[in-house]
């Protein structure tokens, strides 16, 4: 089963099958390694940063992802034309599609990611669950795949409520139904099957115990083709809304050395169970008694990978490329003691005062925070247009400190410096979150933002003196604009023509 | 020139006189205000230093970003105040309100049929954009007069989706 592919391959040119901040991030790693880069872009991205930063750029179609970033043939075609010897998929889009990894490999191009087999098994939630369970990794109590309604009903009695009915092909929070009363199970099963059938074309469902008050804690995995598999510690991702992560940190304030050792060992075991190679993430649910359960594996680079980079000093994208080349990865041991503390805030084009409504438009002014311990990964610039075609991530603000308190203080300072004008964004949410007692104390679970956080509770009232200063500034600004405008108007309002006026003036000064 | 400037329901009377003297509600203020570049400004008042980003959003509406917070200011000179008072009287009871698309997107659902009463805050349109479903709500009580779109339709920004009377 295990085929050892240990010969080293050269990578001289990488095509990045993605856009936005992650494409820029990957280009930077390639530059550091002296590797040429190829960007691909849709009609909406001609002026995007990843296109401008890359050595070469290929247009691949319309603004909708299914017309461009999701079209395998166009990507492989661009790779062939440019002579790229490897493709990096980034996250989202085609990054976890087995057929893409296969098509790339079949075209004789290196896929910077895991082999198709790993993607396939981990992409099917039930298969993933069964595989890691067989390897001895704890999973949330639940049923196997392919059971009939009668079998599921019997199983529901054993698992107990509350429980979740989940679609085998679901993901991103879709295709999940909550049952709090055993009597509701038959009805919910029927609805879930219908939904799954229409949404994913796959009516298989399974049951899973709902772990209440759970935290979402994940482990970064690195594995090379020489049989080395390690973890780089955990990331705490419980601050989320509608299953979208908003803030991530490493380490987790909930972690202790013993739990890290235990969970890390299980994460490595889960990755090995699917013969995983390259960078991936094992997600766990952890209950308040520190029982942990395997949730799923993401077989790609994560959005929140920078927090791990800051507390380990490891450049994950460079390691991905090194591994894809067939070389031994740099780090050799799992990380049991992270250095300091890192927190990431996802800056999204969403208005926290309007129920996180997405915002589109042109960014008129951008001022990005800098200084000690501050990193910003972004694809935006002043003049950038936020379109409705892609996700709302504008930037990732990542702050590092000696400890959690310093990281939070730096984050507050950096959030205050971060200026994005022209569209609505969620920086005020992060500012308020960084002021909330629950966050400061590290007391939260995955339901915290949705159920126990509100923008009004932690918002500091405006100081009277600040209101006055802002009012003075606004008025002086308006006054200036008015004066400038009136000067322009006045030029034409002389009662005589300018030629006559100049003539008189010259005569006067003769 | 006298201005009435409102921020967060608080109104300041600001008088900028010909010699540059600045009065706030009749009291003199020493203000050093400098333009630093497009949108960037600096103010020093009583040795307190502030960096600001100031942009005009629409007529009389100015956004001020200062020390990590955004202030929405309404700046009205005397003439503008007069005009606004007059328009407000005309607008007072014009009946129809249009719910417009805040961004381009795909209409997912039109949950309220024409002719049905709606409450303020009730969802009247579900619009999908940026991979998210967004519920657009009625701004006030009334009757759903007309639905201008159908589910599955792509709409541009500012397209009128429903009207409420």
Q: B11-66, pLDDT tens digit by residue?
A: 999 999 988 899 999 999 999 999 998 899 999 999 999 999 999 998 899 999 99
Check CB contact under 8 Å for A477 and B102: no
Domains detected in chain B: 2-91 (3.30.700.30), 97-164 (2.40.50.100)
Phi, psi (rounded to 5 degrees) for A448: -55, -50
Q: Decide if A1 is inside a domain.
A: no
Closest-CA residue of B relative to A414 is B68
Q: Decide if A122 is inside a domain.
A: no
Check CB contact under 8 Å for A478 and B41: no
Q: Residues of chain B with pLDDT > 90: what percent? A: 50
Q: Which residues contact A336 (CB under 8 A, 6 or more apart)?
A: A233, A257, A260, A261, A264
Supply the DSSP symbol for A462.
P
Cα–Cα distance for residue pair A448/A9, rounded to 1 Å: 47
Q: Are residues A265 and A194 in the same domain?
A: no
Closest-CA residue of A relative to B30 is A472
Mean pLDDT of chain B: 88
Q: Are residues A261 and A369 in the same domain?
A: yes
At residue A80, the 3 state secondary structure works out as helix
The ipTM of this complex is 0.82
Q: Are residues A432 and A493 in the same domain?
A: no
Containing B109, the helix (H) or strand (E) segment is strand B105-109
Is the pLDDT at A16 greater than 70? The verdict is yes
Give the pLDDT of residue A325. 95
Block residue for tokens 């959690």: A404
Q: Considering only A372-376, A466-470, A504-508, B138-142, which range has the smallest mean pLDDT? A: A504-508
Give the pLDDT of residue A232. 98
Task: Output the furthest CA–CA distance in chain A (Å, rounded).
Answer: 109
* Structural domain ending residue among the three candidates A93, A112, A131: A112
Residue of B72, B131, B154, B156 to mutate, interface with A, max A Cβ within 10 Å: B131
**DSSP per position, A346-375:** EEESEEGGGTTEE--EE--EEE---STTEE
Check CB contact under 8 Å for B53 and A419: yes
Cα–Cα distance for residue pair A102/B82, rounded to 1 Å: 70
* Structural domain ending residue among the three candidates A171, A190, A209: A209
Give the pLDDT of residue A367. 96
Closest-CA residue of B relative to A242 is B132
Phi, psi (rounded to 5 degrees) for A403: -140, 180
Q: Name the residue with higher pLDDT: A157 or A19.
A: A19
Domains: count for chain A: 4
Check CB contact under 8 Å for A473 and B33: yes
Q: Which of B48, B62, B69 sits opposite A474 (nearest CB)?
A: B62
Q: Name the residue with higher pLDDT: A177 or A505.
A: A177
Kindly indicate the confidence band of residue A1, based on its pLDDT and cuts at 50, 70 and 90.
very low
Q: Which residues of A touch B24 (CB under 8 A)?
A: 468, 471-472
CA A310 to chain centre: 16
Give how far Cα A390 sits from Cα of A51, A93, A172, A335, Å. 16, 10, 16, 35
Residue of B73, B100, B126, B127 to mutate, interface with A, max A Cβ within 10 Å: B73
**DSSP per position, A93-126:** TTTT-HHHHHHHHHTT-EESS--HHHHHHHHSHH
Task: Output the furthest CA–CA distance in chain B (Å, rounded).
Answer: 61
Cα–Cα distance for residue pair A114/B159, rounded to 1 Å: 45
Q: Decide if A5 is inside a domain.
A: no
Closest-CA residue of A relative to B37 is A365
Q: Which of B5, B67, B134 sits opposite A474 (nearest CB)?
A: B5
Q: Are residues A253 and A108 in the same domain?
A: no
Q: Decide if A119 is inside a domain.
A: no
Q: Decide if A257 is inside a domain.
A: yes
Q: Are A17 and A88 in contact (CB under 8 A)?
A: yes
Give how far Cα A465 sits from Cα of B12, B13, B46, B85, Å. 12, 15, 12, 28
The residues on A that touch B, with CB distances below 8 Å, are 349, 355, 357-360, 364-365, 367, 388-392, 415-419, 421-422, 428, 431, 462, 464, 466-482
Which of A19, A260, A300, A404 is catalytic? The answer is A300
Q: Decide if A123 is inside a domain.
A: no
Pick the closest to residue A262 from A294, A236, A297, A239 (CA basis): A294
Q: Are residues A194 and A329 in the same domain?
A: no
Q: Decide if A355 is inside a domain.
A: yes
Q: Are residues A232 and A340 in the same domain?
A: yes
Check CB contact under 8 Å for B3 and A478: yes
Give the pLDDT of residue A36. 98
With 0.90 as the threshold, say if the pTM is over it: no
Mean pLDDT of chain A: 92
Give the pLDDT of residue A496. 59
Q: Are A329 and A229 in contact (CB under 8 A)?
A: no
Shortest Cα distance from A469 to chain B (angstroms)?
8
Q: Which of B3, B38, B65 sits opposite A475 (nearest CB)?
A: B3
Cα–Cα distance for residue pair B2/A493, rounded to 1 Å: 24
Pick the closest to residue B59 from B39, B79, B41, B80 (CA basis): B80
Give the pLDDT of residue A309. 98
Closest-CA residue of A relative to B126 is A357
Q: Are residues A296 and A407 in the same domain?
A: yes
Shortest Cα distance from B134 to chain A (angstroms)?
7
**DSSP per position, B118-159:** E-TT-EEEEEEETTEEEEEE-SSSEEEEEE---TT-EE-TT-
At residue A72, the 3 state secondary structure works out as helix
Kindly indicate the confidence band of residue A29, based on its pLDDT and cuts at 50, 70 and 90.
very high
**Stretch A310-318: mean pLDDT, rounded?**
98
**Stretch A283-312: mean pLDDT, rounded?**
96
Q: Are residues A174 and A315 in the same domain?
A: no
Q: Are A91 and A301 in contact (CB under 8 A)?
A: yes
Cα–Cα distance for residue pair A415/A432, rounded to 1 Å: 10
Q: Are residues A407 and A489 in the same domain?
A: no
Closest-CA residue of A relative to B135 is A357
Give the domain CATH number at A163: 3.30.1490.20
Give the pLDDT of residue A2. 45
Q: Name the residue with higher pLDDT: A490 or A297.
A: A297
Give the domain CATH number at A451: 3.30.470.20
Residue A133, both tokens: 């369970």
pLDDT tens digits, one per residue of A128-138? 999 999 999 99
Supply the DSSP symbol for A139.
B
pLDDT tens digits, one per residue of A96-122? 999 999 999 999 999 999 999 999 999
Shortest Cα distance from A14 to chain B (angstroms)?
28
Q: Which residues of A touch B16 (CB under 8 A)?
A: 475-476, 479
Q: Are B65 and B53 in contact (CB under 8 A)?
A: yes
Give the domain CATH number at A68: 3.40.50.20
Is A300 catalytic? The answer is: yes
Q: Are residues A185 and A289 in the same domain?
A: no
Phi, psi (rounded to 5 degrees) for A390: -125, 175
Q: Which residues of B touch A360 (CB under 8 A)?
A: 103-104, 129-130, 157
Q: Are residues A60 and A166 in the same domain?
A: no
Sign of torsion, CA A289 A240 A138 A161?
Answer: positive
Plot region of A55 (φ>0 → left; ψ -120 to 50 → alpha; else → beta): alpha
Q: Which residues of B touch A472 (CB under 8 A)?
A: 12, 14, 22, 24, 29, 31, 33, 43, 45
Is the pLDDT at B94 greater than 70? The verdict is no
- Domain span holding position A472: 466-510
Is the pLDDT at A392 greater than 70? The verdict is yes
Q: Decide if A22 is inside a domain.
A: yes
Shortest Cα distance from B114 to chain A (angstroms)?
25
Q: Are residues A261 and A373 in the same domain?
A: yes
Q: Which residues of B touch A484 (CB under 8 A)?
A: none
């Amino acid at each position: 089963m295990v085929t050892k592919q240990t010969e080293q391959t050269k990578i001289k040119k990488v095509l990045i099958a993605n856009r936005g901040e992650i494409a820029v991030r990957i280009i930077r790693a390639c530059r550091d390694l002296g590797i040429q880069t190829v960007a691909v872009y849709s009609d909406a991205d001609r002026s995007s940063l990843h296109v401008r930063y890359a050595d070469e750029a290929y247009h691949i179609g319309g603004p909708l992802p299914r017309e461009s970033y999701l079209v395998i043939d166009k990507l492989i075609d661009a790779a062939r034309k440019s002579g790229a010897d490897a493709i990096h998929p980034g996250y989202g889009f085609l990054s976890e599609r087995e057929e893409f990894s296969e098509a790339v490999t079949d075209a004789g191009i290196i896929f910077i990611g895991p082999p198709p087999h790993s993607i396939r098994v981990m992409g099917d939630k039930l298969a993933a669950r069964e595989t890691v369970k067989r390897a001895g990794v704890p999973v949330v109590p639940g049923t196997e795949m392919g059971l009939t309604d009668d079998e599921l009903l019997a199983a529901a009695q054993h698992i107990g409520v509350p429980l979740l009915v989940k679609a085998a092909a679901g993901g991103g929070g879709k295709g999940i139904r909550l049952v709090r009363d055993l009597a509701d199970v038959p009805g919910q099963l029927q609805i879930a099957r219908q939904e799954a059938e229409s949404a994913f074309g796959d009516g298989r469902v399974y049951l899973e115990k709902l772990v209440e008050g759970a935290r979402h804690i994940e482990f970064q995995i690195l594995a090379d083709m020489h049989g080395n598999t390690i973890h780089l510690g955990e990331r705490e991702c419980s601050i989320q809304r509608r299953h979208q992560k908003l803030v991530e940190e490493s380490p987790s304030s909930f972690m202790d050395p013993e739990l890290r050792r235990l969970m890390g060992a299980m994460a490595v075991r889960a990755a090995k169970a699917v013969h995983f190679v390259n960078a991936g993430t094992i997600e766990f649910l952890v209950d308040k008694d520190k029982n942990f359960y395997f949730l799923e594996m993401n077989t790609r680079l994560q959005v929140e990978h920078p927090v791990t980079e800051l507390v380990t000093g490891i450049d994950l994208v460079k390691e991905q490329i090194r591994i894809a080349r067939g070389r031994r990865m740099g780090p050799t041991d799992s990380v049991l003691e992270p250095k300091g503390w890192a927190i990431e805030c996802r800056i999204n084009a969403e208005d926290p005062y309007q129920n996180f409504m997405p915002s589109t438009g042109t960014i008129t002014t951008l001022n990005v925070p800098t200084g000690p311990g501050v990193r910003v990964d972004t694809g935006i610039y002043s003049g950038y247009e936020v379109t409705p075609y892609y996700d709302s991530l504008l930037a990732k603000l990542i702050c590092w400190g000696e400890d959690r308190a310093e990281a939070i203080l730096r984050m507050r300072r950096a959030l205050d410096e971060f200026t994005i004008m022209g569209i609505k964004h969620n920086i005020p949410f992060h500012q308020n979150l960084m002021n909330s007692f629950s966050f400061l104390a590290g007391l939260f679970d995955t339901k915290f933002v949705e159920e126990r956080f509100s923008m009004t509770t932690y918002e500091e009232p405006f100081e009277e003196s600040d209101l006055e200063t802002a009012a003075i500034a606004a008025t002086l600004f308006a006054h200036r604009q008015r004066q400038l405008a009136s000067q322009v108007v006045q030029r034409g309002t002389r009662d005589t023509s300018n030629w006559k006026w100049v003539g008189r003036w010259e005569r006067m000064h003769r | 020139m006298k201005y009435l400037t409102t921020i967060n329901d608080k109104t300041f009377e600001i008088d900028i006189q010909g010699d540059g003297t600045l009065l706030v509600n009749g009291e003199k203020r020493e203000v050093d205000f400098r333009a630093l570049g497009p949108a960037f400004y600096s103010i020093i008042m009583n040795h307190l230093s502030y960096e600001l980003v100031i942009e005009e959003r629409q007529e009389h509406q100015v956004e001020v970003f200062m020390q990590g917070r955004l202030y929405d200011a309404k700046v009205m000179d005397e003439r503008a105040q007069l005009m606004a008072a007059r328009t407000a009287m005309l607008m007072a009871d014009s009946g129809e309100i249009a719910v417009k698309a805040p961004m381009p997107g795909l209409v997912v659902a039109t949950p309220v049929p024409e002719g049905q009463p709606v409450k303020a805050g009730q969802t009247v349109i579900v619009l999908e954009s940026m991979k998210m479903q967004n519920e657009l709500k009625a701004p006030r009580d009334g009757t759903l007069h007309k639905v201008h779109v159908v589910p599955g339709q792509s709409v541009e920004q500012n397209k009128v989706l429903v009207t409420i009377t």
